């Protein structure tokens, strides 16, 4: 059975970073509305009868979505903390990567909404295989520092779970009415949302995006 490609981190990166941060900052810009459209495609953001109202105050549902997305992120970072870079594995993964196949997967998940994400690659060139060796070298050389930053700055997922349990909040996509089976694919798609070096790009560079 073919692996499905866009799951929980789209929810996470899109709900926590891409929708929450623009509210009150850049308002209902075209970019923010586009990201809301993508979330709506995944049944992760509905808005109201009056539209998305991205300039309005976050609602209880928004807060729950952010909490679930944050917990998912924390679990992924916890997994990353146990990993040691394998340069050969990363090189083999990138060498075998097919951009056209990935673009096809994005379109399967998001339909025409994927077109703008795919078009961004012309400018971003994040999948340019000639630039990967330098990034990988830097990642490997800085790995201990990366882990130290994660340890210092990010709470463990278990801590967040305890907080959510205390208030009886949902902790999974399934509790929000979205299939857990979408999680791996959403994560992979977060690297295509906008030009920022997020966790999914790091995992792509390490060759572990399909397994983390």
The predicted-structure confidence for 131-185, as pLDDT tens digits, reads as follows 999 999 999 999 999 999 988 888 899 998 998 899 888 898 888 777 888 888 8
* pLDDT at residue 50 in the model: 61
Mean pLDDT estimate for the chain:
78
The count of residues in the chain is: 212
Closest by CA position to 99, among listed 194, 1, 191, 208? 191
201 — pLDDT class (breaks 50, 70, 90): very high
39 — pLDDT class (breaks 50, 70, 90): low
Kindly report the pTM of this predicted structure: 0.74
Q: How many CB atoms lie within 10 A of CB 201?
A: 17
* pLDDT at residue 7 in the model: 34
């Amino acid at each position: 059975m073919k692996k499905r490609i866009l799951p929980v981190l789209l929810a996470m990166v899109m709900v926590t970073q891409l929708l929450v941060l623009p509210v009150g900052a850049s308002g209902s810009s075209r970019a923010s509305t586009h990201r809301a459209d993508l979330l709506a495609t995944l049944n992760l953001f509905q808005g109201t009868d009056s539209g998305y109202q991205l300039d309005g105050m976050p609602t209880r549902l928004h807060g729950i979505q952010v909490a679930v997305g944050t917990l998912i992120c924390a679990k992924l970072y916890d997994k990353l903390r146990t990993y040691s870079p394998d340069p050969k594995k990363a090189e083999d993964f990138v060498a075998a990567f097919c951009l056209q196949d990935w673009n096809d997967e994005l379109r399967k998940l998001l339909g025409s909404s994927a077109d703008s994400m795919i078009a961004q690659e012309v400018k971003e060139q994040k999948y340019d295989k000639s630039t990967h060796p330098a990034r990988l070298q830097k990642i490997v050389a800085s790995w201990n520092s990366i882990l130290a930053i994660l340890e210092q700055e990010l709470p463990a997922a278990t801590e967040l779970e305890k907080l959510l349990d205390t208030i009886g909040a949902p902790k999974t996509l399934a509790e929000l009415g979205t299939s857990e089976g979408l999680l791996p694919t959403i994560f992979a798609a977060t690297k295509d949302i906008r030009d920022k070096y997020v966790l999914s790009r790091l995992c792509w560079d390490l060759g572990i995006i399909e397994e983390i």
